Amino acid sequence: MLTIDYGGTSQSIYHRRPSGTLRAYRDQQRFIGKEILACPGRQDITAEVNFDDLELWAKELGWRLGPNIPLSDFFSVEAPPHLTDREGAGRAFRCLTFSP
């Protein structure tokens, strides 16, 4: 299984956002708290992935874990050179592989 998403460790995520990572975006603005549910269907709702939890759950299932690395590092190994993204989203996204 390959997981690619915004996120990080518990410590890094909740240090930046102690009240949680759930938020909404509409018209280039960020909304938190009760505002997240104000316009269903007209905004994007997102949250960062806690990769520590993913690793813990995979271990509990006895799955083998791959490295937890930035997407750009994953691409540098797995993708052709013209598809690599060493800036932007390639550094913001994390990549974790695991298998049964």
- pLDDT value at 23 more than 80: yes
pTM given for the model? 0.72
pLDDT of 50: 92
How far is Cα of residue 57 from the mean position of the Cα atoms in its chain?
Answer: 16
Rounded to 10 degrees, the C-alpha dihedral 9/17/70/95 comes to 60
Task: Please name the residue ranges forming H helices in 1-100.
Answer: 10-16, 51-60, 71-78, 89-92
Higher pLDDT, 52 or 77: 52
By the 8 A CB rule, do 78 and 69 touch?
A: no
The SS3 of residue 20 is: coil
Q: Token pair for residue 4?
A: 């690619």
pLDDT of 82: 63
pLDDT of 85: 52
How far is Cα of residue 82 from the mean position of the Cα atoms in its chain?
Answer: 23
Q: Token pair for residue 65?
A: 């874990």
Determine which of 32-41, 43-52, 91-100 has the lowest per-residue pLDDT on average. Answer: 91-100
